[in-house]
Amino acid sequence: MKIKKVLAFLIVFTIIAATFLPTIEIDASAEIRRQLNQLQQERNQARQQVQEAENALTGMRAEIDDLLQMMREYSQRTMDLSADLAEIELTLHETELLIAYYELMLEQAGADRDAHEKLFHARIRAMHEQGPVGYLNVLLQATSFTDFLVRLEHVRDIAQFDQGVLDGMMAAEERVADTVAELSGLHPSLLRLQNEVEDARDAIQEAYEAMEVILLIMREDEEQAALLYEFERETERQILELLGAVEVQLRVAEAEEARVRREAEIRRQQEAAAARLAELNDFNGQFAWPIPTHSHVSSQFGGRRSPISGRQEHHTGIDVPAPAGTRINAAADGIVRLSGWNGGFGNTVIIDHGNGYSTLYAHNSRNRVTVGQRVTRGQHIADVGTTGMSTGNHLHFEIRRNGVPVNPMPYFGR
């Protein structure tokens, strides 16, 4: 898949290169700029789409996280309800066992009460059959008054005991019956609670299963959103690559246009210079002294010992010493061919006077003219200095004929 994308990019790049590169002219960059602006708009749109796709993917993943958290909570609630249901089932089972136990106790208490009641009734019948004589015989058999009282108290105790035992059995039977009734009333409540918890657990489990289906759908949507996000990013990357290629083409076109403009300007300057030079072709070689305030010549034209190296050399001009900043004038009308640093000459001005003549002014502290500028005889063109290979403030002045330095002295005052 990546190879296909690369091939597609190369095809598009080749088409653009074939469209723009062979036809670069002075206005070729306009079409490239139009293409560049269009690509920049597409890049901005691609960036917006990437941001939207990323926001959608982020939001979808946040929703998935929320759903997973909810599913964890539902799962915990299901486990809690299952634990509650187990506890209810245990309580219900215990209650059923207690009901059965107390029902047995109630049955036993009823049997004991019935047996004691039969015995009590038998004793009552016997006493009734014997009549008062029976009690009286018991009392008359006493050997003393004290024995009589004891026997009388004993008879009373037996009667009260029989009645107390019967009353206790009936009370115990009632308590057991109350317990059985209470447990029997609790049993339906436990059954209802069991059903409610089961219903709640089943509902939560059903909701959990529904959320599993939703999660599966959201996972699929997330995968599609991730693919869309990667697609938008790849689209943006391809646009950026194409944009970079067009920017390179624009720089090439602009450079070519600048070259064409420079060449046109050079031709214009050359034509203008030729026109101005044509005006100077009648120059007769008459020059004015370049520093009117100083006429002393410290070093003449020709052979001399170099003040720098000490060796014998040919001096190509004359040296006129003067204080730093002294005004230097143009020796004749002409056009400035050089105004700047010139090796050992330091700051230098060269003026073309036409008809093969030119003058050179060197070691200047400051040049006051620019290349191509037309100057007139006596115009302030520079200031005296000691720049370059110099031992002090002075003007090195040359007159050249057809590019060859000649002795300047014979040319003054012609």
Q: Are residues 121 and 239 located together in one domain of the fold?
A: yes
Q: Are residues 47 and 134 located together in one domain of the fold?
A: yes
Low-confidence ranges of the chain (pLDDT < 50): 1-26, 132-133, 414
Exposure string (b/e) for 255-271, b if CB count within 10 Å is 16 or more? Answer: ebbeeeeeeeeeeeeee
| Residue 310 belongs to some domain of the structure | no
Q: Are residues 247 and 339 located together in one domain of the fold?
A: no
| Residue 292 belongs to some domain of the structure | no
Q: Are residues 23 and 144 located together in one domain of the fold?
A: yes
- Give residue 141's domain range: 1-280
Q: Are residues 344 and 395 located together in one domain of the fold?
A: yes
Query: Looking at this protein, which amino acid is placed at residue 72?
Result: R
Q: Are residues 68 and 206 located together in one domain of the fold?
A: yes
Q: Are residues 174 and 63 located together in one domain of the fold?
A: yes
Q: What was the pLDDT predicted at 158?
A: 63
Q: Are residues 273 and 361 located together in one domain of the fold?
A: no
> 235, 263, 280 — which closes off a domain?
280
Q: What was the pLDDT predicted at 58?
A: 92
Mind listing the pLDDT tens digit for each residue in 39-49? 889 889 988 99
| Residue 304 belongs to some domain of the structure | no
Domain count, the chain: 2
| Residue 299 belongs to some domain of the structure | no
> 256, 280, 304 — which closes off a domain?
280
Query: Is residue 95 helix, strand or coil?
Result: helix
List the structure tokens of 129.
């059959």
Q: What was the pLDDT predicted at 140?
A: 64
Q: Are residues 189 and 323 located together in one domain of the fold?
A: no
Residue 180 sits at the vertex; the CA angle it makes with 174 and 184, to the nearest 5 degrees, is 145
Q: What was the pLDDT predicted at 312?
A: 86
Q: Are residues 142 and 211 located together in one domain of the fold?
A: yes
CATH of the domain at 348: 2.70.70.10
CATH of the domain at 157: 1.10.287.2610
Q: Is the dihedral of CA 45, 49, 54, 55 positive or negative?
A: positive
Neighbours of 208 (CB within 10 A): 16
| Residue 302 belongs to some domain of the structure | no
Mind listing the pLDDT tens digit for each residue in 260-304? 988 998 888 777 766 665 655 668 789 999 999 999 999 999 998
| Residue 308 belongs to some domain of the structure | no
Q: Are residues 255 and 332 located together in one domain of the fold?
A: no
List the structure tokens of 63.
């929703």
| Residue 321 belongs to some domain of the structure | yes
Query: Is residue 382 helix, strand or coil?
Result: strand
> 236, 263, 280 — which closes off a domain?
280
Tokens 């037996």 correspond to what residue? 158
| Residue 291 belongs to some domain of the structure | no
Q: Are 69 and 189 in contact, with CB atoms under 8 Å apart?
A: no
Tokens 């030119």 correspond to what residue? 358
Q: Are residues 178 and 44 located together in one domain of the fold?
A: yes
